[in-house]
Amino acid sequence: MANRTGTYIAFDGLGQTDPTKSDFKYYSSIQGWSAGKHIDFKFVDSHAKTYAVRDTSSQATLEQRIRERLAASKNCLVILSDQTRKSGSMLSYEIEKAVDDYGLPLIVAYPGYNAILQPEELSYRWPNALTQRIRNRSVKAIHIPFKKNPILNAIGQFTVNSNNLSIPLQFYSRQAHIEFGCITR
């Protein structure tokens, strides 16, 4: 088994080749946080652990790279926006493989929110693959706002090597959101 130190980041590319028109922009934000010299945000990106995939790669090649990256991951950060599709994207495949084949805990991040205190209210953003795994309780997940501090905390805390998550709808307390600087009270 590969050394499972990476964080796999999954998002819906929305069928776009222009990354500014898809949820790729959130992945780019995370890369920027990690590269910033004045920002304390470091993580091991599972996408950097295997060969690059191009838009012209075959479906089989893409799926093989996803499996390789998931096998090297300790957790999976899933970014869900208002545009995330219910089905028909590679995101569904990534969720299925992450949970069913690799037993990865999911860190589900929602852009546009300062706090996530009732994750079930955001079920309209869930792809069918996630909804199914939440309903059958096969996924262990924490739901967080797409903000630097909660993401970094979750990446470090919720891994295949820890038993910190036991339910599909876990979330940080209001106090934790205050301590992260996401909300004031």
Sign of the CA dihedral with 173 first, then 176, 85, and 131 last: negative
Tell me the pLDDT tens digit for each residue of 120-172.
999 999 999 999 999 999 999 999 999 999 999 999 999 998 878 999 999 99
pLDDT at 124: 97
In this prediction the pTM is 0.89
Residue 3 pLDDT level (bands cut at 50, 70, 90): confident
Residues 81, 177: Cα–Cα separation, whole Å: 20
DSSP H/E element including 75: strand 73-79
pLDDT at 46: 43
DSSP string, 38-106: TS-----BGGGGS----TTS-HHHHHHHHHHHHHTEEEEEEE--TT--SSSSHHHHHHHIIIIIT-PPE
Q: Which residue has the higher pLDDT, 67 or 52?
A: 67
Q: Comparing 41 with 25, which gets the higher pLDDT? A: 25
Mean pLDDT (the chain) is 87
Q: How is domain 6-180 classified at the architecture level of CATH? A: 3-Layer(aba) Sandwich (3.40)
Q: What is the pLDDT, as a whole number, of residue 178?
A: 97
User: pLDDT value at position 47?
Assistant: 44
How confident is residue 21, by pLDDT bands cut at 50, 70 and 90?
Answer: confident
